[in-house]
Structure 1
Amino acid sequence: MHSIMIICPDHSPLKESEKWLSRYGFQVNISQSLEQANKYYELTEFNLLLIDQEAIQHLNNNHTELPNQPRRIVLDAKASLSTGVNSMAQGAVFYLPLPTDSETLLKHVVNVLEQNEAQEATSSPTTLSKQTTKEEALTLGTPGSGIIGQSPLMQDLFSDMRKIAGTDVTVLIRGESGTGKELVAKALHNLSRRHNHPIISVNCAAIPENLIESELFGHEKGAFTGANSSHDGLIYAADKGTLFLDEIGELPLEAQARLLRVLQEGEIRKVGATQSTKVNIRLITATHRDLIAMVKQGLFREDLYYRLYVMELLLPPLRDRGDDISMLAQILLEKACQKHNKPIYNYNRTFDKAIRAHNWPGNVRELENAIERAVILSPPERVEAANLKLANQQNTSRSTPLAADITDLPRGTTLDDYFKHFVLTHQHKLTETELAQSLGISRKSLWERRQKLAIPKKVTT
């Protein structure tokens, strides 16, 4: 995750950028002055500084130079040629007026961060090790790739991702909340031909409904009350790169119609505009909702659904990933120890047993939070399972696999009807493996058919 420091007075328009930069996945800190930033932070640890000229005006007056690193963008409410030249001479990568619309600033932020990565790749004396790190980042399943897993379900997912990544095909990612859908989208982008261009991530549920069309498609000056300047939109910001729309099921119907035009015509029209603009994006969407059910309820456009459903990737829930749970827990434990300046705990058997016994309805996100709790609450010498603070589970009784019985089903029952009946009837007393064996299929097939037929998993209490 890229880290950004914003240095600006409280009244500065730049302060508003903290919210939307955080929403798009950046780690953002804010200080009122350079002195305050230096006092509480090590500025060289940030990837980028965004600085209001007012916050450093005294430095220019005294001909004092800013630190050489990190790179910085200077923004000025009283922009002038002389100040701009002076700022660039002192090392600013860009000099922009204030206020600046979010898409323009975002494009400049991404540009600087990409320059940072390119410079590190060419100037570092450890080029070979960086190439190795880059290769690891492209090896799905390794920590460097951001997606960790060796279970059969995850290996099948990785196999599909490698086949899809090199194309520009639209992808729909489905899975429960917390399974890592955004990580999959970013991995697809990093493996694609578009990896040198930005990936713009948008959580459709996080943007107010009355603003989402303007945020995505942009607007012309005067298009509505408060539209004081022209605004390009996030789709335009993703031009030549990838647009990732998370929680696509939350997109309002009117915005769905506009998105359909982007997919059909490869162009966008700003709110209030009469002319369209061509864009070249690769669209990846994600949802935990049943879009087909939403189509039947009139909440999601059927034509858009079939535009999105070109390739589908299903993310398995954490509880179905076997030994991946322990692998993830060990990595997250080390990460939490480093975050909270604690010695790296040994991953002990009791701790692992407690983790493997939990159902993890919140998936990887819940696991990460639980381990962070345990790290904070445990004594220095040992991480304790009790400090995970997990809800107690009752052990469900397991019986011997039963042969499929269809004598109580009515005439004309389909195979899907039978499959659903059998799973719902026996899942309270059989494991997923035993259910699959009884049906004569693999666990992967069982999981895929659960998704297809919307068969809920058994509920543990």
Structure 2
Amino acid sequence: MHSIMIICPDNSLLKESERWLSKYGFQINTSQSFEQANKYYDLSAFDLMLVDQAAIELLENPTNEIPENPKHIVLDAKPSLSTGVNSMAEGAVYYLPLPTDIETLLKHVVNTLEQGDQEKATPASEIVSSNPVLFAASEREAALPLGSPGSGIIGQCPPMLELFSDMRKVSGTDVTVLIRGESGTGKELVAKALHNLSQRHDQPIITVNCAAIPENLIESELFGHEKGAFTGATTAHDGLIIAADKGTLFLDEIGELPLEAQARLLRVLQEGEIRRVGATQSTHVDIRLITATHRNLFEMVKNGQFREDLYYRLYVMELLLPPLRDRGEDISILAEALLEKTCLKHRRPPVPYNKTFDRTIRSHDWPGNVRELENAIERAIILSPMDRVEAANLKLASQHHSQGQSSRTSSDDSVKATLPEGTTLDDYFKHFVLTHQHKMTETQLAHSLGISRKSLWERRQKLAIPKKVTNKK
């Protein structure tokens, strides 16, 4: 049994790891400071020390008082690149941010225990150079740890922690990643986080929404074209894939890519070459491809809507984003962060996040996920008084249902009355759009449903809702 000494103040986030590591069979002892640890224990008898940076900062002369034996890992609630480099130079095997999920911590603990005694004398510079990708990725995450508001991806529920673990594992590779999740779950944020943690973080990430580019222009936009390749091509154009050379290309809604463009993309992945529309020569490109979709690509392959060979090229590493309704306490954490962000956006003084507001948010199913939550909170901030935010101003579908006749127009009541008991949100969405689209614009429909126009378009595609037909004379 390996023995580990944890040195941290009582209020440290590292304190919780005592319980985690004990469950995995390690013998754990704790001390509040190096002084206390040296007084009651022979530190050289331990196999490993986990040290909170706050305990090191209390030392008058850290380099003389941190023992060389046993090896130690430093964890920091306020991580920075300079502190990390100094910690490694002073003998730390790893420098990690706090909080750190148990899987990440356990991996580094096991790696440290398995290292041979010869590594004790290895200079910090050699440790860094021997695995620069791992160290660089950990340093970048240390500044903005996944799950924290600063990283852009907020979450601590088990599905999100599993997602973060997978992201860390693939961040140092160039493997192609397919991100799957419902509309509004944050697939683009995951793609950007992967890029920021990768070796290519100093190069551009080019984001392309395949659903937003007209089908007749998408090949030219992605792959470029030669002068005179088609009517209107008055000059040569490089295309977005060339713009992503040495960096990352993120193709959102990859399921909307036309079959002809799919064939061209396949060649880019297979050969690392791109040929402009109308060109005879190919150009070499070096990109890391990340794609995303809310659609079932395998079903599209079976229906002949997506190339099978491209599907297997994309399906190397899959990351799954949970819908907001399955994220438990994350909903409240996200809502509070979005409330603060929205107040800043609209130059409003901060307002308290109250229990009534939270209760209303937690009672909603969020079919539009985080995007719908953000829109609802922005709506509530705009409509509420300056000193508070009112739950009624979220204008959620669940609120309308509970308020009955007084919260809907007579036409809305008639729509609701025609739906059988047990109707799902998708059924209601489809019925609402089909019933109202003849007298509302797409913008009005989206606003009434509390979603964006893009989200409305995506849900039309998902639920196969036809658009209204305009009679031409």
**Class of the TM-score when normalised by the shorter of the 2 chains:** 0.5 to 0.7
Residue equivalent to 1:243? 249
CA contact (8 A) 2:227 2:233 kept: yes
Q: How many angstroms apart in 1 are the aligned matches of 2:386 and 2:142?
A: 33
* 5+ residue gaps, structure 1: 1-125, 396-427, 429-455, 457-461
Measured after TM superposition, the shift of residue 392 of structure 1 is: 2.2
TM-fit CA distance, 1:266: 0.5
Q: Please state if 1:318 is matched with 2:316.
A: no
Larger Rg: 1 or 2?
2
- Corresponding residue number in structure 2 for 1:269: 275
What is the alpha-carbon distance in structure 1 between the residues aligned to residue 81 and residue 296 of structure 2? 46
The question of whether the paired residues in 2 share the 8 Å contact of 1:219 and 1:273 is answered with yes
What secondary structure, in the 3-state scheme, does the structure 2 residue paired with 1:173 have?
A: strand
Q: What pairs up with 1:163-312 in 2 under 5 angstroms? A: 163-312=169-318
Partner residue of 2:353 out of 341, 347, 354: 347
Is contact 2:140–2:196 with CA below 8 Å preserved after alignment?
no
d(CA) in 2 for partners of 1:380, 1:388: 15
CA-CA distance at 1:213 after TM superposition: 0.4
* Structure 2 CA distance for aligned equivalents of residues 359 and 258 of structure 1: 40
1:382 paired residue number: 388
SS at match of 2:147: coil
Q: One-letter code of the match for 2:395? A: K
Distance 1:321 1:292, change over 3 A: same
Match of 2:375 in 1: 369
Q: 1:137 to 1:253 in 2, by over 3 A?
A: farther
SS at match of 1:392: helix
What's the C-alpha RMSD, in Å, of the aligned pairs?
2.4
How many Å separate the matches in 2 of 1:135 and 1:164?
A: 13
> Deviation per CA, 1:194-215, whole angstroms, max 9, x where unpaired?
1111100000011111110001
Match of 1:332 among 338, 341, 359: 338
Name whichever of 175-184 and 138-147 sits farther off: 138-147
Identity rate, percent: 79
Asked if 2 retains the 8 angstrom alpha-carbon contact of 1:351 and 1:385, the reply is yes
* Aligned equivalents of 2:171, 2:343: Cα separation in 1: 34
The amino acid of 1:199's aligned partner reads I
SS of the residue aligned with 1:185? helix
143, 153, 176: which one aligns with 2:149: 143
C-alpha displacement at 1:380, in angstroms? 2.0
Task: Tell me if the contact between 1:138 and 1:190 (Cα under 8 Å) persists in the aligned partners.
Answer: no
1:338 offset after TM fit, Å? 1.1
1:306-339 deviations in Å (ceiling 9; x for gaps): 0000000000000100111000100100111111
Deviation (angstroms), 1:342: 1.3
After TM superposition, the score normalised by the length of structure 2 is: 0.55
Kindly provide the CA deviation profile for residues 11-54 of structure 1, in whole angstroms up to 9, marking residues without a partner as x: xxxxxxxxxxxxxxxxxxxxxxxxxxxxxxxxxxxxxxxxxxxx
* Contact 1:136 1:145 survives alignment (8 Å): no
Q: Secondary structure at the match of 1:286?
A: strand
**Alpha-carbon shift at residue 354 of structure 1 (Å):** 0.3
| Separation in 2, partners of 1:380, 1:344 | 9
The whole-number CA distance in structure 1 between the counterparts of 2:149 and 2:278 is 46
Cα pair 1:270 1:276 within 8 Å, conserved = yes
For 1:339, the aligned partner's letter is: K
TM superposition shift of 1:382: 1.7
Q: TM-score, normalised by structure 1?
A: 0.57
Distance 1:167 1:128 in 2: 25
Cα deviation, 1:314-370, whole Å, max 9, x if unaligned, reads 000001001110001001001111111211010000000000000000000000000
SS at 1:283's partner residue?
A: strand
Confirm or deny: 8 A CA contact 1:171 1:313 kept in the other structure. yes
Contact 2:153 2:190 (C-alpha < 8 Å) held by counterparts? yes
CA drift of 1:379 comes to: 1.1
C-alpha distance 136-222 of structure 1, shift in aligned 2 (>3 A): same
Which amino acid in structure 2 is aligned with residue 369 of structure 1? N
SS at match of 2:398: coil
Residues of 2 paired with 1:356 and 1:392: CA distance? 11
CA–CA distance in structure 1, aligned partners of residues 243 and 346 of structure 2: 36
Contact 2:81–2:143, Cα closer than 8 Å, also in 1: no
Dislocated runs of 4+, deviation >2 Å = 126-138, 392-395
